[in-house]
Structure 1
Amino acid sequence: MSPTALQVLPVTGLPEIEQGADLGALIAKAVELRPGDIVLVTSKVVSKAEGRLVRADDREAAIDAEAVRVVARRGRTRIVQNRQGLVMAAAGVDASNTAPGTVLLLPADPDGSAREIRARIHELTGRQVAVLLTDTFGRPWRNGLTDVAIGAAGLAVLEDHRGRVDSHGNTLGLTVTAVADELAAAGDLVKGKATGTPVAVVRGLGALVTAADGEGIRPLIRPIEDDMFRLGTSEAVREAVTQRRTVREFSDEPVHPEAVRRAVAAAVTAPAPHHTTPWRFVLLESERARTALLDAMLAAWRTDLRELDGWDEAKIARRTARGDVLRKAPYLVVPCLVAEGSHAYPDARRAAAEREMFTVAIGAAVQNLLVTLAGEGYGTAWVSSTMFCRDVVRETLALPAHWDPMGAVAVGRPAAAAPDRAARAVEPFIAVR
């Protein structure tokens, strides 16, 4: 789109909007629209016309009803994803400028509302305009509020500059402009927040107006899988913890070594007794190292099951097949307990308790490792098998004699999405005194 002059005009003289109001007709009467105009309508007046004013003595309950996902929470403030897919404060539930005991919800279908207003204006004037519904948003990392588009008709909400050449001859590779949001913010400059001017018109950008209603606002909403900041800090931690699963089938995608090192950095922040650091992590990044370890462990397991347990070959094969999750994983981590700094006690009771303290510490470290890897998008399976043949593991991996292998963690991208898991009620696991 070539540079062009434009005008942003407030639409004055509109009455107080009540339920059932014909917004398209009111706008067409209040301003002489031209073909190619872009009409910006504050969502609040659309909500009023559509009867979205509801009784709600408890605003929090109204937010709960409109929200589908909590993104971040601080005190009573919540950033949520609402039913329209928008991520915003309080799900767009507005208690300002409404009667006590009522709140105003966003339009149920902002794109549909924009299409209706556009069609009504065309019916009455014969002129083809675009319509945007706007609402006020805060923005991550930026103070202050601005208007953005939450509904659209007759306008492509994004302008893709990729493949174009800039003034220096450089080909643009990433730039996609949020045209609808730029228009919404421009309109807010003349509408204002307290002037009672809910509609503005942008004139001079007729090239943006399309004959068809278009896709609406959907292209502006980033898919959750592409959103690197989809959760606040505490929500991200809870999400990683609750979504962590034992994964037994991995894709062929390699594991990034730096991701594992970031997970280890989180692991070694775990609590430990006596100000010690009782964790070591052996990273098996080569297939050769993984195969050597697993072959040695398999031989040791087969000997024990045959000679100590008296199992036949068929039973041994079924039991050792459980280790396939380690063999098929593209990356293995062997956490080890190092009890340096532990206290020596002459009696067995206190000596056992001392060992248990260090065992709890390695468990906490491994949990940190697993949760951090889940946050990186990796699946894991913590398998105990190295604990049953520690001497073999130490010899194969050339580990010091005082390093105690505490299982092995298989790491990789899950081959398939994990099935939904019902949340566990916490009460059965709690005792209050």
Structure 2
Amino acid sequence: MTAARVPSYEVRAVDSIPEVRPGDDLAKLIAAAAPDLRDGDVLLVTSKIVSKAEGRIVRASSREEAIDAETVRVVARRGALRIVENRQGLVMAAAGVDASNTAAGTVLLLPEDPDASAAAIRAGLRDLLSADVGVVVTDTFGRPWRAGLTDVAIGSAGVRVLDDLRGGTDAYGNPLSATVVATADELAAAGDLVKGKAAGLPVAVVRGLPHVLGEGSSARDLVRPAADDMFRLGTSEAVREAVTQRRTVRAFTSEPVDPGAVRRAVAAAVTAPAPHHTTPWRFVLLESAAARRELLDAMRDAWVADLRADGRSEESIAKRVRRGEVLRAAPYLVVPCLVTEGAHHYGHARRDAAEREMFVVAMGAGVQNLLVALAGERLGSAWVSSTMFCRDVVREVLALPGDWDPMGAVAVGHPAAAPPRRPDRTAAEFIEVR
């Protein structure tokens, strides 16, 4: 009886690769150093020698200038360290610009198209050695949740970069619903164990894993799409993005709003600063359609009565009332209320007015926190002032205490469309320095 074969593979560095210069044919250099390559092998090639062969050596007065030129988007910044998205679509430190192993005053850029580079090496080896091998171009990356560096695949040809196991089952028969293995990255890391970071061995070969070869995929498939990237920004960048990208949304889809998301936003709202260590915020959540309709009908009737008392025509009244439709169209409403419990009373008009203004400012800060947090939950919102003009009606309909002052209403829902671009505002226009 033959024993079942135990899976195994070998990985070895390729010796005798000479110093690579612009214009060198990497396939020829590798074929001369590893003439025993055979079908099913996977070649792991450090991006540095690919960059050198392709002439991606540039003069730069500073590495920072080169990083600026290669950066498409800053993801995170901490001191001098920058994590950025580069021209190849990779998110990595310093855009992949390397000042090591290159002459003083020059830096190495990553290959312009690492997948094409891998394909060219693979084609050259097929012509030279009649061997069908897979090729992975590797570079060194840090990772968001792990300490230390490892090599990953930035270019690939002839290798199935992802092994999608979804739809299968594990050894216990449990369904696999989220398992997609980054095969090309695993190969890159294995090769780095024998190439090393300073050993002068830029190429490695993995043998014994012919099943990882395949057509139709590239290392670009390993880059997570923006829509699926839950960690697209660094901490400070995410805070700024949340604040600056919060927009007033006036059209919503019919998709229900998660009450938990609103409660998380309220939790953020009540961290706003407030005078005298008070908590002047109250939030009334109108989750039922009946409650929203009752409030909005009563507010509309009060508004119509006010407009008629002003002598407005029925046509003018109807036009103005239509402006409040944003609240009716929203699947969820929040009514923020101000409670001035704990305010100081001076018996002096100017000082008492300033005291109330402090509480009103705190209310605005709380509502801003709410709106920003809702945006972080991918919910749109519009803060409308209407409840402030009929506070008694709102208190009666919602059965609120007499000392709760409604401070508008916030329409909440999933945006029906992306808001138009906000005109740029230069901070200097709003600053006076003394």
- TM-score tier after normalising by the smaller chain length: over 0.9
* CA distance in structure 2 between the partners assigned to 1:185 and 1:8 by the alignment: 11
Q: Over residues 346-365 of structure 1, what are the superposed CA-to-partner deviations in whole Å (9 max), with x where a residue is unaligned?
A: 22211111111111100000
Aligned partner of 2:360 in structure 1 is: 359
| Post-superposition offset of 1:70 | 1.4
Name 2:116's counterpart in structure 1.
Answer: 112
What is the one-letter code of the residue matched to 2:384? Answer: V
Alignment check: 8 A CA contact 1:130 1:153 kept: yes
| Number of the residue aligned with 1:89 | 93
Q: Which residue in the other structure is 1:22 paired with? A: 25
Percent of aligned positions that are identical: 70
Using the alignment, how far apart are the partners of 1:385 and 1:97 within structure 2?
66
Which residue of structure 2 lines up, in the alignment, with residue 198 of structure 1? 202
Q: 2:285 aligns with which of 274, 283, 287?
A: 283
Q: Does 2:325 correspond to 1:324?
A: yes
Asked if the contact 1:4/1:205 (under 8 Å) is kept, the reply is no
The answer for the alignment partner of 1:158 in structure 2 is 162
Aligned to 1:9, what secondary structure does the other structure show? strand
| Distance in 1 separating the partners of 2:91 and 2:348 | 60
**Structure 1 counterpart of 2:66, from 51, 54, 62:** 62
Structure 1 unaligned regions, length at least 5: none
TM alignment of 1:236-385, pairs within 5 A: 236-307=238-309, 309-385=310-386
Pairs within 5 Å for 1:139-150: 139-150=143-154
Q: TM-score, normalised by structure 2?
A: 0.97
Q: Distance in 2 between matches of 1:422 and 1:38?
A: 51
Conserved 8 A contact 1:68-1:83? yes
Instruction: Name the amino acid aligned to 1:314.
Output: E
Per-residue deviation, residues 6-32 of structure 1 (Å, max 9, x unmatched): 110101101101111111111111102
- 3-state SS of 1:387 partner: helix
Q: 1:7 aligns with which of 2, 10, 26?
A: 10
Judged with a 3 Å threshold, the aligned counterparts in structure 2 of structure 1 residues 184 and 419 are, in CA distance, closer, same or farther, namely same
Report the aligned-residue RMSD.
1.2
Amino acid at match of 2:49: V
Deviation at 1:3, TM superposition (A): 6.3
The answer as to whether partners of 2:183 and 2:212 remain within 8 angstroms in 1 is no
Q: Contact 1:35–1:127 (CA<8 Å) still a contact in 2?
A: yes
Give the distance between the partners of 1:226 and 1:169, measured in 2 at CA: 28
Report if aligned partners of 1:382, 1:408 keep a CA contact under 8 Å in 2. Answer: yes
Q: Aligned letter for 1:197?
A: L
1:290 maps to a residue whose letter is: R
Could you tell me which amino acid in structure 1 is paired with residue 191 of structure 2?
G
Once the two structures are superposed, what CA deviation does each residue of 1:206-239 show, in whole Å capped at 9, x if it has no partner?
Answer: 12222x4x23112211111111111111111111
In structure 2, what is the equivalent of residue 412 of structure 1? 413
Which residue of structure 2 aligns with residue 125 of structure 1?
A: 129
CA separation in 1, counterparts of 2:404 and 2:231?
A: 39
What is the rounded CA distance, in whole Å, between the counterparts of 2:372 and 2:362 in structure 1?
A: 16
Alignment match of 1:51 (pick from 52, 55, 61): 55
Partner amino acid for 2:274?
A: A
The separation in 1 between residues aligned to 2:232 and 2:152, in whole angstroms, is: 19
Deviation digits for residues 287-328 of structure 1, max 9, x if unmatched?
111111100000000000111x21111111111111111101
Give the match's secondary structure for 1:131: strand
Q: Point out the more displaced range, 72-81 or 373-382.
A: 72-81
Offset, 1:167 = 2.0
Q: Point out where structure 2 has 5 or more consecutive residues left out of the alignment.
A: none
Query: 2: distance between equivalents of 1:354 and 1:274?
Result: 10
> Whole-Å Cα distance in 2 between the matches of residues 127 and 149 of structure 1?
21
**Following the alignment from structure 2 to structure 1, what is the Cα–Cα distance between the partners of residues 339 and 431?**
32
Paired residue type of 2:319: R
Q: Is the 8 A contact 1:278 1:337 kept in 2?
A: yes
Number of residue equivalences: 429
SS at match of 1:410: strand
1-structure distance, mates of 2:70, 2:253: 37
**Aligned partners of 2:140, 2:61: CA distance in 1, in Å?**
23
Asked if residue 41 in structure 1 is aligned to residue 45 in structure 2, the reply is: yes
Aligned-pair distance for 1:97?
Answer: 2.1
Which range moves more in the overlay, 44-53 or 97-106? 97-106
Name the CA distance, whole Å, in 2 between partners of 1:27 and 1:432: 63
Q: Secondary structure at the match of 2:186?
A: helix
Assess, with a 3 A threshold, how the Cα gap between structure 1 residues 17 and 364 changes in structure 2: closer, same or farther.
same
Aligned: 1:220 with 2:222: yes
- Structure 1 segment 381-396 matched on structure 2, within 5 A: 381-396=382-397
The question of whether the paired residues in 2 share the 8 Å contact of 1:291 and 1:327 is answered with yes
Question: Per-residue deviation at 1:169?
Answer: 2.2
- 2:213 pairs with 209, 214, 219, which one? 209
Q: Is the 8 A contact 2:75 2:234 kept in 1?
A: yes
